[in-house]
């Protein structure tokens, strides 16, 4: 019998269950390691510090050279100015201002005298006469070559009438004492020191109003003033006589009482009429 020791190895395979378990454990360890590494790499990349002084993320470089060149050509974006809201101003309501305005003193309109009211009406009549005289100068006493811009409005001429007296009260009466003023006035339109037209103003018991002017009476009155000028102390007066249609005049400063029809002044040699002739028609 051979005495050599025979060593027997246990070559029987391990059970399959143990081998599969080891493989799964190893695969799990590898996956865990890969996941941990990936998480660490992603986490550290996100923690990369930005460039100092610039809080905005860095711009991504152009992918191609052409894109890089186009990026250089584009102008830099201008900073947008910050618009501040308008400052609120409180405005007081109109109701708060009205009482203050009501308390402010108001200047009353000037009160015109009767003479100023008449002059205003006469001035309006003068303006109308001059406007129409441009087209028809002869109708208003002007010549075609007259400079109408130099015409002026003279002072008022009051019109008088004869007082109603008894038959025996006209004797030995001065003409001045027989006169009473009417609510009627004439204003002369003067050019080159001559009366060319008379603007009439009358009172209608309510207000002053314009009346019909006269070119013929202006011509007569101009000759009256030429014969008895005020600068020599004469003050001719225009008169209306009851029951007679024409205008008359008297020169109180003359020694003989006189009342003359104004149309007589258009005669070649005008004469004054005794006052008695006209006063006889008033008895």
Per-residue confidence at 1, pLDDT binned at 50, 70, 90?
A: very low
Distance from CA of residue 167 to its chain's centroid? 65
Partners of 197 in the beta sheet?
A: 189
- More confident site: 86 or 119: 119
Q: What is the mean pLDDT of the chain?
A: 78
**In Å, how far are 21, 170, 248 from 239, measured between CA atoms?**
155, 16, 5
| 63 has a pLDDT exceeding 60 | no
Q: Which tens digits make up the pLDDT trace of 128-178?
A: 999 999 999 999 999 999 999 999 999 999 999 988 765 555 555 688 888
**Per-residue confidence (pLDDT) for residue 75, from 0 to 100:** 53
Q: What is the 3-state secondary structure (H, E, C) of 10-71?
A: CCCCCCHHHHHHHHHHHHHHHHHHHHHHHHHHHHHHHCCCCCCCCCCCCCCCCCCHHHHHHH
Could you tell me which residues come within 8 angstroms of residue 35 by beta carbon, excluding any fewer than 6 positions away? none
Q: Which helix (H) or strand (E) holds 189?
A: strand 179-191
DSSP assignment letter at 145: T
**Per-residue confidence (pLDDT) for residue 241, from 0 to 100:** 85
Question: Cα–Cα distance between 258 and 110 in angstroms, integer?
Answer: 43
* Element counts in the chain: helices (H) and strands (E): 7, 8
∠ Cα 223 225 229 (to 5°): 140
| 29 has a pLDDT exceeding 50 | yes
Q: Which tens digits make up the pLDDT trace of 208-243?
A: 999 999 999 999 999 999 999 999 999 999 999 887
């Amino acid at each position: 019998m051979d005495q050599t020791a025979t060593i027997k190895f246990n070559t029987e395979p391990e059970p399959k269950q143990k081998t599969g378990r080891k493989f799964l454990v190893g695969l799990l360890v590898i996956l865990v390691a890969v996941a941990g590494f990936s998480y660490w790499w992603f986490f550290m990349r996100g923690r990369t510090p930005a460039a100092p002084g610039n809080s905005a993320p860095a711009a991504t470089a152009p992918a191609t050279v052409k894109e890089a060149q186009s990026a250089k050509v584009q102008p830099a974006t201008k900073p947008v100015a910050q618009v501040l809201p308008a400052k609120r101003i409180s405005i007081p309501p109109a109701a708060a201002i009205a009482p203050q305005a009501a308390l402010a003193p108001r200047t009353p309109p000037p009160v015109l005298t009767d003479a100023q009211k008449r002059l205003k009406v006469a001035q309006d009549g003068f303006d109308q006469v001059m406007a129409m005289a441009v087209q028809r100068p002869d109708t208003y006493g002007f010549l075609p070559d007259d400079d109408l811009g130099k015409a002026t409005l003279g002072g008022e001429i009051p019109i008088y009438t004869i007082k109603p007296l008894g038959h025996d009260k006209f004797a030995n009466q001065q003409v001045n004492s027989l006169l009473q003023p009417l609510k009627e006035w004439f204003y002369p339109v003067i050019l080159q020191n001559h009366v060319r037209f008379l603007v009439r103003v009358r009172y209608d018991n309510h207000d002053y109003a314009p009346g019909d002017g006269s070119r013929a009476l202006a011509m007569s009155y101009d000759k009256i003033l030429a014969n008895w000028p005020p600068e020599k102390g004469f003050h001719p007066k225009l008169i209306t006589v009851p029951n007679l249609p024409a205008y008359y005049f008297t020169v109180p400063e003359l020694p003989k009482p006189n009342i003359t029809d104004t149309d007589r002044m258009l005669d070649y040699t005008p004469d004054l009429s005794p006052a008695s002739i006209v006063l006889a028609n008033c008895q």
